[in-house]
Amino acid sequence: MNNNFQRDIDLGLSAQNKTLPSKYFYDEIGDALFVEIMKMPEYYLTKAEFDIFKNKSQELIKVLKLNPSTFFELVELGAGDGTKTKQLLKALDDQNYNFEYMPIDISKNALKHLKASVNAELPTVRITPKQGDYFNVLADLKQSEHPIVVLFLGSNIGNLPDERAKEFIQKLSDNLKVGDRVLLGVDLIKSESIVLPAYNDAQGITKRFNLNLLTRINKELDANFDLNSFTHQPEYIEQEGIARSFLVSTKDQTVAIRSLNKTFTFAKNEKIQTETSRKYNDYIMKGILGESSLKIIDRLTDSQNLFADYILENGH
Ligand code: AVJ
């Protein structure tokens, strides 16, 4: 990881338009800050998807075409804290559906915490965490004849540029059998007045989350970024439906990254892009599904129409 980290930071900061990959937000501090972001009143995404899972669990079960007597694997990509998923697990468990819940994550620690909380709250739900790469675990599961329902929630796919998202969908469908289903949660395109505050909460948690990337580079690559000389700047273009986060240099400055034996110069007002958060509509979703065999069979939204859970089925 550290070698990749070092290489990716070097590449991103050496480019004409500087970038840093958003996947590196999530060290221990970043994980905790993201939990705080989800509690911010401006961050509507988590609340909206929770609304669907809490108030439309019966509809979810229906559109996923689940059968109480046919065993299935409920696979979740990314462990999270399970707040949303537990609503669905509870509804399935109450109605005696025959299934096993299988969260997949790279982090052993995240899986350990999730298993403990599911065991405590829903002791009759079978949970088998799988540590590893999403696609390796799915490739293993493809060997079994049980139907699979994949959950990929939280608009996590939105961090991928459209071309990468398309590749992700293609790989996902390659690792599923005919008839397997996917529940893909995405944020919907809406006005700037709602989206921008979600990435610029009044308490400044998102700002700390963004700046933590520089703290992480300082710690792990022995660098000397001055956190007071960069500001957090989110932008959103409603016509394209993409929110982007930047760190902006507030002055002409030079930063040394000792583990790279290099210095990087930043002009006053120069931007480093740290994140892309794509928003969707049916047209964009269809474009991303592209030539893959995953097809939209339904879509549920929250009561305010902020967020959508697309139900996809894998064809031939
Ligand atoms: C977890 C990728 C869905 O893009 O909204 C939250 C991460 N970044 N605030 C998003 C995030 C800044 C989030 N996702």
Domain contains 165: yes
Ligand 1 atom with the smallest distance to the CA of 155 is 3
The CATH code of the domain that includes 79 is 3.40.50.150
Ligand 1 centre to CA of 66 (Å) is: 30
Distance (Å, whole) CA 75 – CA 214 = 34
Ligand 1 atom with the smallest distance to the CA of 209 is 12
Helix axes 28-39, 205-221, angle to 10 degrees: 180
| Predicted local confidence at residue 141, as pLDDT | 87
Ligand 1 centre to CA of 98 (Å) is: 33
Domain contains 236: no
Mention every residue, 6+ apart, whose C-beta is less than 8 A from residue 212: 25, 27, 29, 30, 33
Ligand 1 atom with the smallest distance to the CA of 159 is 2
Domain contains 97: yes
A 10 A CB-CB count for 122 gives 18
Kindly report the protein residue whose alpha carbon is nearest to atom 1 of ligand 1: 156
Place of tokens 């961090």: 159
Domain contains 36: no
Cα Dmax for the chain = 66
Tell me the best of 42, 84, 159 to mutate to test the pocket of ligand 1, counting ligand atoms within 8 Å of each CB and taking the most. Answer: 159
* Residue ranges making up the domain that contains 136: 44-190+280-314
Domain contains 112: yes
Ligand 1 centre to CA of 245 (Å) is: 10
Total domain count for the chain?
Answer: 1
Kindly report the protein residue whose alpha carbon is nearest to atom 8 of ligand 1: 199
Q: Which residue numbers in the chain have pLDDT < 70? A: 1-2
Kindly report the protein residue whose alpha carbon is nearest to atom 13 of ligand 1: 156
Residue whose C-alpha is closest to residue 140's, from 184, 97, 102, 85: 102
Tokens, residue 313: 């089925």
Tokens, residue 120: 């405590």
pTM of the shown model: 0.96
Task: Dump pLDDT digits (tens) for 66-97.
Answer: 999 999 999 999 988 899 999 999 999 999 99
Ligand 1 centre to CA of 289 (Å) is: 21
Task: Dump pLDDT digits (tens) for 204-257.
Answer: 999 999 999 999 999 999 999 999 999 999 999 999 999 999 999 999 999 999
Residue whose C-alpha is closest to residue 270's, from 311, 229, 299: 229
Ligand 1 centre to CA of 108 (Å) is: 22
Domain contains 285: yes
Kindly report the protein residue whose alpha carbon is nearest to atom 4 of ligand 1: 277
Ligand 1 centre to CA of 234 (Å) is: 12
Domain contains 207: no
Domain contains 143: yes
Ligand 1 atom with the smallest distance to the CA of 34 is 6
Ligand 1 centre to CA of 275 (Å) is: 8
Give DSSP secondary structure letters for the chain.
-HHHHHHHHHHHHHSSS-B--GGGG-SHHHHHHHHHHHHSTT-HHHHHHHHHHHHSHHHHHHHTT--TTS-EEEEEES----HHHHHHHHHHHHTT--EEEEEEES-HHHHHHHHHHHHHH-TTSEE--EES-HHHHHHHHTTS-S-EEEEE-TTGGGGS-HHHHHHHHHHHHHTS-TT-EEEEEEEBP--HHHHHHHTS-TT-HHHHHHHHHHHHHHHHHTB---GGGEEEEEEEETTTTEEEEEEEESS-EEEEEGGGTEEEEE-TT-EEEEEEEE-B-HHHHHHHHTTSSEEEEEEEE-TTS-EEEEEEEE--
Contact residues of ligand 1, CB 6 A cut-off: 37, 45, 154-156, 158-159, 199, 206, 209, 275, 277
Distance (Å, whole) CA 272 – CA 263 = 15
Ligand 1 centre to CA of 277 (Å) is: 7
| Predicted local confidence at residue 1, as pLDDT | 54
* Cβ contact 149:70 at 8 Å: no
Tell me the best of 44, 153, 155 to mutate to test the pocket of ligand 1, counting ligand atoms within 8 Å of each CB and taking the most. Answer: 155
- Report in angstroms the alpha-carbon separations of 243 from 137, 159, 239: 31, 10, 11
Mention every residue, 6+ apart, whose C-beta is less than 8 A from residue 232: 200, 206, 207, 210, 211, 245, 246, 247, 248
